[in-house]
Each structure stands twice: as C-alpha cells, then as structure tokens.
Amino acid sequence: MTETSPGRADYAALTKSVAALTEGEDDIVALMATLACELHHADSRFDWTGFYRVVAPGLLKIGPYQGGHGCLVIPFERGVCGAAARTGEVQIVDDVDAFPGHIACASSTRSEIVLPVWDATGALIAVLDIDSDQPAAFDAADAEALTAILAATFAHS
C-alpha cells in the first residue's frame, strides 16, 4: 500500500516500525503490548486495539491493549473475537449490532476487525481485536496488512 487515506495507517511504514521495535524480542506479552500501542496510534479509525490471549481450550482472556476497558474473558462460542478464534479466520464486521452474539464491551463500537494470531508452530495464541467508532471502518486491505504484521511479529522461528 503506497498511498493512504487521511487518518488511515501507512501499513508499509508501520510494518518497518514494528519490525524495528520488536527485533530480537521473543516475549509474547512484550510483543503484544508494543504492537497494540503502535497500531492504536497509527490509525484514527482504531478506537480500541488489543489482544485476547488463548489461556485454555476454548477460552480467551484479555491481554495488552490500548483504549477503554475491554471484556476480561471471552469464550470461543461468543462474539466476534470468539468467532475468529473458533474458525481461525479474520472477522470483518461492518455493523456490530447486526452480528449475532456480539459482546458489547464498549457502547461506542460500531465496527470491528478481529484477526487470529499464530505462533511459529501454527498454534493459535491470541486474537487481535480492533474496534472502531465508525461503521464499516475495515476492509480486505486492512486484513491483509494486519495479517502480514502479525505473522512477521509472532510466527517467525
């Protein structure tokens, strides 16, 4: 992505910045905290940016994030984060009120993107949840760029 719209992340620059900040780091929580901060401040659409860690079979628990309070625990069976963890697929939701079983952690959330986070062995370790106070804020270009950043950060060997 060479050009960005006003307020949208410059994913090429963000990829370089994240790589420089996380080089040589292998602590998962440190990586999550750094990535949540960098992403959150890179794009005006991002109202809440954070990770839900896989802590037990079928269970996510809040990890590092930026923004208001998040939900503490999310079962794989509930919400957009649960759907991403359960299916292993990116979830782009243009209108959270229309998503069956959406968990309203913040009343300001209008749309959301949630991406599975894999480690180098291919194990699901978390999901990255980004909420926006704008409807239909996310698209396939966001999914592609964020997936690449997550793979470079967490799935390297």
Residue 123: give its domain's CATH number: 3.30.450.40
Name the residue range of residue 127's domain: 25-154
Residue 15 is assigned to a structural domain of this protein: no
Q: Which residues does 52 contact at the CB level (< 8 Å), separation at least 6?
A: 60, 61, 62, 63, 70, 74, 81, 85, 126, 127, 129
CA distance 131 to 25: 27
Residue 55 is assigned to a structural domain of this protein: yes
The sign of the dihedral angle between the CA atoms of 94, 96, 97, 99 is: positive
Residue 131 is assigned to a structural domain of this protein: yes
If one counts the domains in the chain, the total is: 1
pTM: 0.92
Q: What angle do CA 55, 56, 58 make, to 5 degrees?
A: 115
Query: What does the pLDDT profile of the chain (157 residues) look like in tens digits?
Result: 334 566 789 999 999 999 999 999 999 999 999 999 999 999 999 999 999 999 999 999 999 999 998 889 999 999 999 999 999 999 999 998 787 766 667 667 889 999 999 999 999 999 999 999 999 999 999 999 999 999 999 997 5
CA distance 155 to 39: 18
